[in-house]
Structure 1
């Protein structure tokens, strides 16, 4: 049979619009002779729909939209659509995460997700019940299709860090001997995911001795970015077909054809390219789906704002990006020149708004209440808050999305200012450690990035970020000759500790055993906990790691009992 893989970018909650996207893909696939179109997990809703699933009116609309699809399928292929299937009783939760077969004769539920993730960003048990058995669909032509949904494929202890308790949907299909296994997914991006999904699909193919089609959603939905990277693997686990990362695609595959690649497969992008493409996609979709066409950022001459400017220009076009340069008395001429040169390379508009007069005004106004002019951290934070206020005012007046430019290392230890540099609607690189920012900028300026830069509409020749910015010691320039290293450990020391504490949940004792100093571990752990109140008020960030600050990070603000890094 000729299957079409529709790697779609839905808008969450837009059932009618998503149905139109599915129908357009069906028309394209039918023109190429496809008889069945596959769409991602919950493709009619967009993933994750969250509490939209609790709205009765929207659930009623789903049935009407599916009926409408049936009416418009005349002469087109059949569809497998990701839907929320109602349960047949009044108990909660009252839905299954399911798949509907839609053809000219009507629609019906044919599969229910069995493993429901409720870790990290997922909360499916809030809305769904688990399915209770293997899902096998036999088509009129006789093909026997095993159907699984996303997590149902993640059942290999040897390949994944943790496996959900529950049934093994792949093992349950072994005796049925399907001709093909289909996994419809909405799996968020991180750089390690594409290779891991390929391994999981390959292992399932070997266990069932049949090809496996893995179809993933693409696009940005709030903090989550879905990279697509859909594929078909042969019974021996080798890759037969792969769809591009971070873009929509409809690809037809003939299951009766040769069970080996008939053309050279594209080279998998390197980690840095995947990161850049995912971040660009995340900004583009967050802006577009929230109704913004233009964006604003503060440009300091530092590496963080430079990277955000590159990503924004690629996502929305340089003509839709503007930046404010807001020098204080402590800003170096080099930083101002570096910011201006970067803007010229990217061809984005800038305005310079010096803040010295505003700083003096705040000093004058606050002196009576303080008994002196603001000092120390208070004075430094005022500079950040003045800049944040200017940025918010311009963004409000001009209808722009304000992009914050802080990185994950700063957000982790609280090296950021509430109502200052944290102001904005989206934290573009809030899930990139500072060392990752440097690595990504080095790659962007390397010859290896030229094809990707051209594809993203960025200048292909020469540096973009620039060596002056990439080699500059990090500094917020909030006082004379300030460096980040005055307040923080070197990022090459800090980031491994943060990754251990945040992502790996490593104990302080284990970090010390790995060679880190006890005082440093305890200090970083203390900073991480104390900054929780700031993160709770931060702009949403684009998740590009296994553990980001956001909906998957659920620590209390008021908490005690820090673990000692010393011996028990």
Structure 2
């Protein structure tokens, strides 16, 4: 039996369009001699559909699309079958009224053949709002060439049951254990698993453990593409019954690949990809899909000559093409000539258009307008923030007028401690690196300027020779240039100290005692904890960001604003 792994990039809520995408994958699979096509979790809806699942019109449309797909496949590829992710309606008045399910389309008909058992509600997931859990395992009997195959069917979280590998798991049954007495030939896991660092390897380890337990190969098919804050990296694969990798699909792009279940091939050597390259590709994919799926062809950003805006400019150029990205330089009286030169040189290397608007006169006019109500000129943080808010207003005006997506350039470290200005540098439609710590910004930029990035740069359409970011940008001390000779270190701890502490607080939720035991300074812990709490109101008003860590400041971060 030949199975096609269809790693697809859906548009959330576009059931008709997603159905066409699945049909296109089926046509490709049929040409490759496939018997059964596997598509990701909720492939007809795109993941996560959130409250679109509560739309009656969408549920009615779902049946129409499935019927149409069954009819087309029966005509075009009558011997082909496909598993499609869908939302199945329950036939009673109890809530929730849906199952996260799989349907088999075959012989001009479709029927539900599996339901998800473990429903995640941690981090960005909220499936119990919409779905009921299934109580029994699903086994599909599939006949091909005189042999009857027993296929175990699981959906995403159903595979995540190994506490020894994960450290923890959600409460509920063990779907893998429930399949042990079923004597299955293959385990299929159809997923929508978002990208985060090291997650790809963990998925493979979970699948390998399931293969060992079941003495059967495991086929893992993952969604790919950016949907709002989430980036799905794909990276679908097969592990054989010996827990050896037998097939690996690429990361961060759509793909259809065939795996022959009767093949005797075992081990597959896959080139190792640098973690920084995986992170960069995920950010590029996130920007490309966020812009495209929201109807933007062009983007705008403020270019300061600093490392954050430089990295965002490179990501945007890779995602949309440098000719579709414009940068705006807005020097103030405190902007150094070096920063302006660095920004212009970066834009030239990328082939990106620039415009320069001095804000000196605007700053003077704003200050003069504030003297009557204040009784004196604005000073301190108020005066410093005026620069950022003037720039934010100019950027929003240009983006509105020119139908561009404004990209915010702040990083996770700044967002965590509130080192950012509401209605200023926080303005934008997408915070590209809002889940990337400052130290990782430096690491990404060092990698981009290294020979190790040359192949990746070529593949995403960036110049391949010489530096992109530039040595002067990478090596200058971080500064928002809010006043003469100002540095980030005037207000914040050194990022080499700050970022490990932030990661422990945000992603591990460690207590003060645990942090002290790790060697963090008690005074610094208290200071950073206070900054983190006080900045919550800013984060609540920030643009959406691309989640690339285990805990981002997005829908999975749910702290109150008014709290101790």
TM-score, scaled relative to structure 1: 0.98
Other-structure match for 1:489: 493
Q: Aligned residue for 2:87?
A: 84
1:554 is paired with a residue whose SS is: coil
Secondary structure, counterpart of 2:100 in structure 1: strand
199, 217, 236: which one pairs with 2:223? Answer: 217
Alignment partners' CA distance in 1, 2:367 and 2:16? 55
Partner Cα distance (2:434, 2:441) in 1: 10
* Structure 1 residues without counterparts, runs of 5 or longer: 561-568
2:452: which partner in 1? 448
Structure 1: which 4+ aligned runs deviate by more than 6 Å? Answer: none
Post-superposition offset of 1:259: 4.0
Residue equivalent to 1:167? 173
Indicate the residue corresponding to 1:355 in structure 2: 359
Determine helix, strand or coil for the equivalent of 2:516: helix
- Please report the TM-score for the alignment, with normalisation by the length of structure 2: 0.98
Q: Does 1:9 align with 2:12?
A: no
Contact 1:241–1:265 (Cα < 8 Å) also in 2: no
Higher alpha-carbon deviation: 265-274 or 448-457: 265-274
**Cα distance in structure 2, aligned partners of 1:357 and 1:161:** 57
1:261-272 residue pairs with structure 2 within 5 A? Answer: 261=267, 265-272=269-276
Q: Does 1:188 align with 2:188?
A: no
Aligned to 1:134: 137
CA distance, structure 1, for counterparts of residue 294 and residue 107 of structure 2: 35
Paired residue secondary structure (2:165) = coil
Q: What's the offset of the Cα at 1:345?
A: 0.5
SS of aligned partner of 1:385: helix
Q: CA deviation at 1:269?
A: 1.3
- 1:150-549 to 2 correspondences below 5 Å: 150-261=156-267, 265-549=269-553
3-state secondary structure, aligned to 2:143: coil
Partner residue of 1:111 out of 114, 120, 124? 114
Residues 2, 33 of structure 1: 8 Å contact kept: yes
The CA deviation at 1:509 is 1.7
Quick check: 1:355–1:386 contact (8 Å CA) kept in 2?
yes
- The secondary structure found in structure 2 opposite 1:139 is strand
CA distance in 1, matches of 2:88, 2:257: 27
Is this contact kept in 1: 2:350–2:462, CA < 8 A?
A: yes
More displaced 10-residue stretch of structure 1: 485-494 or 101-110: 101-110
Q: What SS does the aligned partner of 1:40 have?
A: coil
Match among 100, 104, 111 for residue 101 of structure 1 = 104
**3-state SS in 1 of match to 2:163:** coil
Per-residue Cα deviation, 1:467-487 (whole angstroms, up to 9, x for no partner): 100001000001000000000
Q: Tell me by how many angstroms 1:75 deviates.
A: 3.8
- Does the 8 Å CA contact 2:314/2:350 hold for their aligned counterparts? yes
**Structure 2 CA distance, aligned partners of 1:296 and 1:268?**
34
Aligned length: 558
Shift of the alpha carbon at 1:27? 0.3
- Partner residue, 1:144: 150
TM-superposed CA distance for 1:511, in Å, is 1.1
Partners of 2:55 and 2:426 in 1: CA distance: 33
| Kept in 1: contact 2:71–2:108 (CA 8 A) | no
Structure 1 residue 140: deviation in Å?
3.0
Note the alpha carbon deviations across 1:142-192, whole angstroms, 9 max, x for none. Answer: 111000000000000110022111000001111111110000000000021
Conservation of the 8 A alpha-carbon contact between 1:242 and 1:265: no
Q: CA deviation at 1:210?
A: 0.7
1:300 and 1:335 in contact (8 A); partners too: yes
Deviations 1:427-467 (CA, angstroms, capped at 9, x unpaired): 00000000010011111111111001100100111110011
Q: Which runs of 5+ in 2 are unaligned?
A: none
- Distance in 1 separating the partners of 2:115 and 2:40: 14
| Distance in 2 of aligned mates of 1:253 and 1:509 | 51
The CA deviation string for residues 264-289 of structure 1, in whole angstroms up to 9 with x for no partner, is 53313111000000000000000000
Residues 539-565 of structure 1: CA deviation (Å, up to 9, x unaligned): 0000000000000000000001xxxxx
**Matched residue of 1:324: which SS?**
strand
Q: Indicate if the aligned counterparts of 2:156 and 2:191 stay in contact, CA closer than 8 A.
A: yes
Counterpart CA distance in 1 for 2:180 and 2:446 is 48
After superposition, the CA RMSD in angstroms is: 0.7
Separation of aligned partners in 2, 1:209 and 1:499: 39
In 1: Cα distance, 2:180 partner to 2:91 partner: 29
Query: Which residue is 1:44 aligned to?
Result: 44
What is the alpha-carbon distance in structure 2 between the residues aligned to residue 184 and residue 88 of structure 1? 25
CA shift digits 1:2-52 (9 cap, x unpaired): 100000000000000000000000000001110110000000000000000
Could you tell me whether the CA contact under 8 Å between 1:41 and 1:150 is conserved in 2? yes
* 2: CA distance, partners of 1:509 / 1:556: 23
CA drift of 1:515 comes to 1.6
